[in-house]
Structure 1
Amino acid sequence: MKNPKVAIVTGAGQGIGLEIARKLLESGSNVILNDLEKSLTEQAVANLVQLGKGAVIGCSGDSASQETIQELIELALTHFGKVDQLVCNAGITLFGSFLDYSREDFLEVTRVNQAGTFFLTQAAARVMKDQPDGGSILFTSSVTAHQSHENLAAYAMSKAAIEMLAKNLVLELAPYRIRLNAIAPGATLTERTTSDPDYASTWSKLTPLGRPARPEDIAEAAAFLLSDAAKHITGQTLIIDGGWTSISPSPYE
C-alpha cells in the first residue's frame, strides 16, 4: 500500500477547514487538525475519527504563534515522519470602516492572516524541501481579495497578500517540488454566516448559480489542488463563488 500523505490543516474546528480535513481523510491522508478553540478541536477530531479513515491528531492553539507552528510540525514529524500537505486556512475577519479602523485591529488581522500563513508555510517548506516528492501548500483567501466589499479593507488586503505569496514563492520553492496555490471562496454557509437568518436568502439572490457555497463545495476544490491530480498547477488562485465576482452585486444595495 502506498505510504499515506500527511496533512496539516489550520482553522479546522468547523466550517470550511473541517470539511477540507474531512475530504483529505477520505482521500487517504493522515491529518493534523488545528483550531484556536480547544473544544472545537476536540469535537472535530471526535467526528472525523468516526469516518474510520486514516489518523487524526488534534492541536489546539493560535496557528500564527511560533509555539503552535512548531508544535504542528513536530506532531507531523513525530507521528508520521513527514509533511506532504499544508492548508493555511485559519484567519480572522474584523469589520470596520476604513476611516475609523483601529491600529490594533489592523495589526491583529495582518498578524493572523498574513504572518501566520507566512511563517507556517516557511516551517512546512523547510521540511518539504528535503522530501523526495516535495509537498503541496494551499492558502484560503477570499473573493474580497478580488472585489471591493464594504468595511473589509484590512481583511481584503491580507487576503490579497497571501495570494501574492502563493505566486511569489513559486520562484523559490518549485525547485524543491513544492507547489503553492490558493482558493478564494465567496459566500459560504458556515456556522458563522448562518447565524444571520437572512444570509442564505440574500446570497442566493446575489449568486449567479442561485445559492451560496456549502463547505463541501470548497473542500472538493481544495482537495484537488492539494492532490497529485494537480501536480502541474502552482502559483494559482481558484475563485469558488458561484459566479459572484463576475457581476459583483453588493449585499448592501
Structure 2
Amino acid sequence: MPKQVLPQAIVTGAGSGIGRAIARRLAHEGFAAIVVDRAAAPADETVRQIRAEGHEARAEILDITDATATQRLVDSAPNLRVLVNNAGIFDVKKFNELTADDFRRMYEVNLIAMFTLCQQAARVLPEGGRIINLASRAAFGARNYAHYAASKAGVAGLTKALALELAAKQITVNAIAPGVIMTDMLLERPDGVAELAAEQPTGKLGKPEHIAHAAAFFASPFAEYVTGQVLIVDGGRSVGGTAAF
C-alpha cells in the first residue's frame, strides 16, 4: 500500500517551550509536523520526541526574518494545512531606556516576519486552511515591555484583519494570547517565579501544553466557524486586571 500522505503543519519557534508543545500536539492530532527553529539541536530534539511518539516530523533551520528562506519553507510543504506563527523575541527594558532600534527589532521579528509568512502561506493554503498566531496577554498592557506589548498588540490586529480578508477562501485566522507560561523565556525575567504564580487567580503558572491544547482546537474541524479571535489563556489573570504582565 502507498504511504499515507499526512496534512502538514508548520510550527515556528518549535525547538522548545510553547512551540515544541504545539508541534507535538499537532503531530498527535495527525499532522506531519514541520519543526522550524533557528538552532538545529533543539529542533532536532523536538523531531526526536515526536518520532519517538510514533508520529511524523522534520526539522527546518532558518531565520524567520529571511523572506527567501520562509518562501522555500512554504514551497517545501505541498500538503500544508496549518501554519502556527509561534517564533518571537522578548526582552525587558524600561520605556525611558527604549530606542527606536529596540522597537524596530521587536517588530521585525514579532510582527513583520509573521505577516510575511502568513502572506506566503495564504497563497498556497487550501480551503479550510488554518493560521494560528501567538500573541500575548502583554498586549493589554505591561510594565517594562512597551516594545514587546506593542508588537503583540499588532499581532492581534493583524490576526483580525487577515481573518476578514481570507474568509472568502475559508481560511481561518486566530490568535492565542498566553499569560505567564513556564518556558525558558520566562526564566529570563527578573521576577521571581513564586511571586508570579501568586499573582495568578489560579495560584499557578501555565504550562506549554495549555497553549498547545488551544492551538489543537483552532486547527481542528471543531473550529471551522471560529475566525478572527484572540483566545486569552492566562489562568484568569486578565479578569482581575491588566496592570502587570
**What is the CA–CA distance in structure 2 between the aligned matches of 1:192 and 1:169, rounded to whole Å?**
28
Residue number in structure 2 paired with 1:42: 44
Trace 1:58-97 onto structure 2 (pairs within 5 A).
Answer: 58-77=59-78, 82-97=79-94
- The question of whether the paired residues in 1 share the 8 Å contact of 2:164 and 2:228 is answered with no
Classify the secondary structure of the residue corresponding to 1:239. Answer: strand
- Looking at structure 1, the residues matched to 115 and 228 of structure 2 have their Cα atoms a distance apart, in angstroms, of 15
- Letter in structure 1 aligned against 2:21: E
- Do the aligned partners of residues 199 and 224 (structure 1) sit closer, same or farther apart at CA in structure 2, a change above 3 Å counting? farther
Asked whether the 8 Å contact 1:38–1:60 carries over to 2, the reply is yes
Identify which of 199, 203, 206 aligns with 1:213. Answer: 206
In structure 1, the residue matched to 2:218 is: 225
For residues 30 and 16 of structure 2, what CA distance do their matches in structure 1 show?
20
Deviates more, 1:186-195 or 1:87-96: 186-195
Change (3 A) 1:40 1:161: same
Number of residues of Structure 1 aligned to a counterpart in Structure 2: 243
Partner of residue 142, structure 2: 149
Residue identity over aligned pairs, in percent, reads 37
Does residue 100 of the first structure (1) align with residue 83 of the second (2)? no
* CA distance in structure 2 between the aligned counterparts of 1:12 and 1:203, rounded to whole angstroms: 25
Instruction: Tell me if structure 2 keeps the 8 A contact 1:206–1:249.
Output: no
1:108-123 matches, within 5 Å, as 108-123=105-120
TM-score, structure 1 normalization: 0.90
Q: CA deviation at 1:209?
A: 1.1
Which runs of 5 or more residues in structure 2 are unaligned? none
Q: Confirm or deny: 8 A CA contact 1:19 1:216 kept in the other structure.
A: yes
Contact 1:73–1:123 (Cα < 8 Å) also in 2: yes
Sort the Cα spacing of 1:145 and 1:196 in 2 relative to 1 into closer, same or farther, 3 A: closer
Secondary structure of 1:117's partner?
A: helix
Mind listing any 5+ residue stretches in structure 1 that lack a counterpart? none
Q: Kindly report the root-mean-square deviation, in angstroms, between the aligned alpha carbons of the 2 structures.
A: 1.9
Runs of 4+ in 1 over 6 A off after TM superposition: none
